[in-house]
Amino acid sequence: MKKGITAVFIILVIVLGYVAVHALTAPVKLSAAQLGNQLIHSNKKGIDCFACHTIGKKGGSVGPDLSKEGLAKHSIKWLEVQIATPAKNFKPGSTLKIDGKSYMAIMPDHKMLSKKELYELASYLESLK
C-alpha cells in the first residue's frame, strides 16, 4: 500500500515537473505590434524613422510626432502605404498641418522593407494611443 502511494507521488512529481519546464521554455508569441516595436527600435537597414519622427521621448521633428499615431485612426493599409510609398498619400513638397504644426511632405520611400515588416510597423503605430 505504501509503495503504491510512493509510486503515485513520484509520477505526480514527474508530470508536474514536465509541465512546469514546458511552460517556462515555450517560446512567447509576440503580436505584430510588439514585433513592430522591436523592429522600429532596431538598427536594421531602412529603419530610419527616429531621424525625423519622435515617439515618446526619442526622435526628430522633421516629420510629425508619432507618439499617439493610433489616435489619427488611419487604417493599417494606409500606414503601410505611407511607410513604403508616402507620395501616394501626400503630394511630395506640399505642406500639411498636423496638430497645428506645418510639415513639408518629404518622407522618403521605404521599398526595401518586406510586406511583413511594413505590417508590423503599421500595427505598432496603430497601437500607439
Binding site for ligand HEC (CB under 6 A): 47-49, 51-53, 62-64, 66, 69, 72, 74, 79, 82-83, 86, 89-90, 96, 98, 103, 105-108, 110, 121, 125
Tell me the three cell numbers of residue 71: 489616435
What's the closest the beta carbon of residue 30 comes to ligand HEC, in angstroms? 18
Cell triple for residue 26?
515555450
Min dist. Cβ of residue 118 to ligand HEC (A) = 9
For residue 41, the 8-state DSSP code is T
Residue whose beta carbon is closest to ligand HEC:
63
Question: For residue 99, which phi and psi values (nearest 5 degrees)?
Answer: 50, 40
The grid cell for 127 is 497601437
Q: Which is nearer to ligand HEC, 1 or 71 (CB)?
A: 71
Q: How far is the CB of 39 from ligand HEC (least distance, A)?
A: 9
Pick between residue 8 and residue 96 the one whose CB is nearest to ligand HEC: 96
Backbone φ, ψ for residue 67 (5° rounding): -55, -30
* Minimum distance of ligand HEC from residue 36's CB (angstroms): 9
